[in-house]
Structure 1
Amino acid sequence: MMKHLAALAAVLAGTFGVAAGEGGDILASTLANGDHAAGLESLQPLIAADDSEASFAAGALTVVDGIEAFVQAMYRHGLTTAPDIGMAGAILGVPMTRSVIANPDPEPLDYEGLRAILTDLVTAMDGGRDLLAAAGKSGDYVVPVDILTIRIDANGDGVADDSETIGAALALQLGINPSDLLGPGKSKSKNGESTAQGFIIGFDRADAFWLAGYTQVVAAQADLLLAHDFEEMFNSSFHRIFPQAGLPMQEYSRGGTLMMDPESDAAIADAVAFIHTFNFEVVDVDRLHDVRARLKSVVAFSRQNWEAILAETDDERELVPSPAQTSIIPDVAVTQEVVDAWMETLDSVEAIIEGELLIPHWRFRQGFDLRAYFETATRTDAVMIFTGYGALPFLKDGPIADAQAFRQGLAVFGENFPGFALWFN
């Protein structure tokens, strides 16, 4: 009898993996209730005791909290992703009328205010990165999290309600009912209706590196902008995405007719202004250097992620599975061929970041040295770099990245390469 019970226990252990500890429980409950400050405070004693799971939980909460603060700032200043650009919008497939602005009474925004928002985002991403990197060093933990139930207080009213879950936001974007997002493992309420649950990921040590890498993807983009003076672009064209935030050209989003109609002509003029002002002076050299360092760390975290993945022996709702594990994404398997192709892709990307492999430029036989740009650029003039003159300081003889440099990745991933890159990080 005892042997049978022991065998059953072994089977159950193999099925369900390592149960979440206190840190994992705090993470799951905090993501579901949205009180990040309380969750982070609860995790501090566990982190002080070198609890890797608690470090993962704190890192994940720091990242989510930073993203929430950024989303709230965008709401506060009336960000819209569907600007009114008249008939030109219809031609381009953009709605002719502006979507309802999330905030009906947005606050003014100025250039320094936007820089402060981006700086806070970078700070949050780096704080999360440090905790996640520590959580990836050791620990046999699995933290189940239902992604669809994560709450983000987007409007900053202090309450993350049912309409502010990841599931609700995704359903809104897709134009479907939240319950339609649920897969075969969907949950049912007592009255038989589907609940907003069903996409559970078992986060483990490998995923700590995965998420740490993504913090640097976000931080690199923000730092690239912060390294430059983009105030002229902000003043001349950002009223298109912050239409009621008091920017200088806000009252001139509709002018006279030049070619098409007042809305379209003003939108085209603003697009030209955007391109014309994409000529930034580098004002923070250290931040520009940091962008390259962050890109290198993304590659390093991805390698650490895969090293940890390939060492796993469980199969517990894997975010990114090894060839021996089961993908939570239906009909998508990760084979050894896929892993090898990704490793080769990382090698090529790292060579580009290091300046050992050059970026092709349509006008020159030489290649563009990305490392030289990050280390020596004093100005980023996108038009002049594209047309040629602005690229001259960064040209170098050497191997140039082409299809051959990414041959294995292209052969294995094909047209699905962007999706795999987003998934694998």
Structure 2
Amino acid sequence: MLRTTLLGAGLAAFLTLPVHAGEAGDALRDNLYAGTFAQGIEQLTPMAEGGDQEARFGLGMLELASGVEHLVQALYRHGLVGPDAGMLGPLVTVPIPPNPSPEKLDYAKVRGILAQLVDDMDAAKTSLAAAGESGDYVVLIDPLRIRFDVDGDGQASDAESMRSIVERQLGIPLTPEPATQPAGSDKNPAQAPEAPDTTLGFDRADALWMAGYSQVLASHGDFLLAHDFSDLVNVAFHRLFPRAGLPMQDYSEGGSIFMEPRTDAAAADAIAAIHTLDWPVIEPDRLKRVLERLKAITAFSRANWAAILAETDDDHEFIPSPRQTATLPGSEVSQEMVDAWLKTLDTADAILDGKLLVPHWRFRQGFDLKAYFETATRTDLVMILTGYGAIPFLKDGPVASAADFAEANRVFGENLIGYAFFFN
């Protein structure tokens, strides 16, 4: 009797353990580490179509990675750099190496890059959403070993791994150098420190998280594509792509007005860019779709947290539940944080549904964000912010205030934005 009881308890415990990667997970990991995303997609597609949930996850993750790679390759192809503000130097650094021979860029090609991004993200969303519906798979992946063929030469090298990219951005090695011993010391030579384990266990909750982020990227693409923003490209994009043949390329340095030529030209381009933020809506269906995508993001976030809270394992968690161990330093989660985040999603949904209005500094009425996405014929950012452009979207009703975000501010404090990116 005791033996039967112990056997039953052991079987029950075994059934609650995560199921580690099988053939599909191995294929995913191999192709991520080799940077052969297209090959992996071809390999996993028939398995995913056959109903293998782990294969659906692998397919979605590779489609997501492939979409990011397509974007990065396009930015490299046209010579993206950090914008130079003259005496202030580059305003930001970009994780893309300089291209010695960039190709020409124009407004039509910018739209093509964005359209490709939207299509890629939607393909990934479909696979990842399906992978998040069910399944007890856990695929162990070290994100720093993922490689992207940044320069599009058909080879994803060590220099194009996430580890190398992050190290270049941070300016420090991720693996500490061994300590050196003083000359003449009789101590043993220092051993190279062991590289920290950066492996994460990806499961169906993470599939939903990635599906949400696919829509974050797609919403940005659709918002721009909904408008004619050609003037912005023509007057300012040479700051991002200085050798891509854009109209103002040869005038990045002119005469001096206030400071010195490079700085004054950069300031002039910034003013010109602001002046062009009056965009006609040329694809209203895309603008409406942005609203749908934003609502999908909150829905995926809810589904993600429902899946996280239902987990019974504790295996290299990316985003842990309050009962699980955080793998990433500083990523511990409490139930209070989960509750505050879910309440924030309620507020976001109310705003997206037009039930809660966005405050405008100039009016007692609120700005109906839903009406804007569904009916706007142009987006003049300056006029909306200053007042006149907001008038068509003003409405009587409850207006969001600090009280609607008080719980999130209390729990997350100054880290609210960071947690919002992390929690999605």
TM-score normalized by structure 2?
Answer: 0.91
Q: Return the offset for 1:380.
A: 0.3
Contact 2:18–2:136 (8 Å) recurs in 1 = no
Corresponding position of 1:67? 68
Change (3 A) 1:145 1:358: same
Counterpart in the other structure of 2:165: 169
What secondary structure sits across from 2:27 in the alignment?
helix
In the other structure, the counterpart of 1:325 is 324
Deviates more, 1:385-394 or 1:169-178: 169-178
After TM superposition, give the deviation of residue 94 of structure 1 in Å: 4.0
Aligned AA (2:22): G
Counterparts of 2:336 and 2:22, CA distance in 1? 35
- Name 1:42's counterpart in structure 2: 43
SS of 2:200's equivalent in the other structure is: strand
Matches within 5 A, 1:109-258: 109-180=105-176, 193=192, 198-258=197-257
Q: Secondary structure at the match of 2:272?
A: helix
- Report the Cα distance in structure 1 between the residues aligned to 2:375 and 2:340, rounded to whole angstroms: 32
Write the letter of the residue equivalent to 1:17.
P
Q: Compared with structure 1, are the counterparts of its residues 6 and 100 closer, same or farther at alpha carbon in structure 2 (3 Å cutoff)?
A: closer
Q: Is the 8 A contact 1:122 1:219 kept in 2?
A: yes
Q: Distance in 2 between matches of 1:277 and 1:193?
A: 54
Cα offset, 1:331, TM superposition: 4.2
The code of the aligned residue for 2:51 comes to: D
**CA-to-aligned-CA distance 1:315-366 (integer Å, 9 cap, x gap):** 1111111111111122442111111101100000111111111111111111
Indicate the residue corresponding to 2:266 in structure 1.
267
Relative to structure 1, is the Cα distance of residues 74 and 9 closer, same or farther in structure 2, using a 3 angstrom cutoff? farther
Residue identity matched to 2:46: P
SS of equivalent residue, structure 1 residue 248: coil
1:376-387 correspondence to structure 2 within 5 Å: 376-387=375-386
Deviation for aligned residue 1:19 = 1.4
| Residues 107-163 of structure 1 deviation map (CA, whole Å, 9 limit, x = unaligned) | 000110010011000000000000001111111100111011010111111111111
Structure 1 residue runs of 4 or more that deviate by more than 2 Å after TM superposition: 5-17, 97-101, 191-198, 329-333
Q: CA deviation at 1:212?
A: 0.2
Query: Does the CA-based 8 Å contact 2:95-2:169 persist in structure 1?
Result: no
Letter in 2 for 1:422: F
Q: Distance in 1 between matches of 2:46 and 2:94?
A: 48
1:255-310 residue CA offsets vs partner (Å, 9 max, x unmatched): 01111111111111100110000100000001000000000000000111111111
Pair 1:180–1:116, CA change in 2 (3 A):
farther
Give ranges in structure 2 of 5+ residues lacking alignment.
Answer: 178-189
Report what 2:346 is aligned to.
347
Q: Give the residue type in structure 2 aligned to 1:360.
A: P
2:411 corresponds to which residue? 412
C-alpha distance in structure 1 between counterparts of 2:9 and 2:32, whole Å: 33
Structure 1 residue ranges without an equivalent (≥5): 182-190
TM-score, length-scaled by structure 1? 0.91
1:277 corresponds to: 276
8 Å contact kept, 1:228–1:280:
yes
Summarize the Cα distance change of 1:194–1:8 in structure 2 as closer, same or farther, 3 Å threshold. Answer: farther
Which position in structure 1 is the counterpart of 2:356?
A: 357
8 Å CA contact 2:16–2:312 kept in 1: the answer is: no
Matched residues in 1 for 2:329 and 2:112: separation?
A: 41
Tell me, in whole angstroms, the C-alpha distance in 1 between the residues paired with 2:193 and 2:28.
Answer: 24
Is the contact between residue 148 and residue 197 of structure 1 (CA under 8 Å) also seen in structure 2?
no
Q: Give the equivalent residue in structure 2 for 1:187.
A: none
Q: Secondary structure at the match of 1:202?
A: strand
Per the alignment, do residues 40 and 195 of structure 1 end up closer, same or farther by CA in structure 2, a change over 3 Å counting? farther
After superposition, the CA RMSD in angstroms is 2.5
Matched letter for residue 278 of structure 2: N
Per the TM alignment, residue 199 of structure 1 is displaced from its structure 2 partner at its CA by 1.1
Name the CA distance, whole Å, in 2 between partners of 1:371 and 1:204: 34
**C-alpha separation in 1, matches of 2:256 and 2:27:** 58
Task: Go from structure 1 to structure 2 and tell me whether the alpha carbon gap of 1:99 and 1:218 turns closer, same or farther (over 3 Å shift).
Answer: closer
Matches within 5 A, 1:71-82: 71-81=72-82
Aligned equivalents of 1:101, 1:140: Cα separation in 2: 39
User: Does the C-alpha gap of structure 1 residues 100 and 148 become closer, same or farther in structure 2, counting only changes over 3 Å?
Assistant: closer
**Partner Cα separation in structure 1 for residue 291 and residue 95 of structure 2:** 37
Partners of 1:99 and 1:297 in 2: CA distance: 29
Answer yes or no: is the 8 Å Cα contact 1:84–1:98 preserved in 2.
Answer: no
**Residue 99 of structure 1, CA deviation:** 11
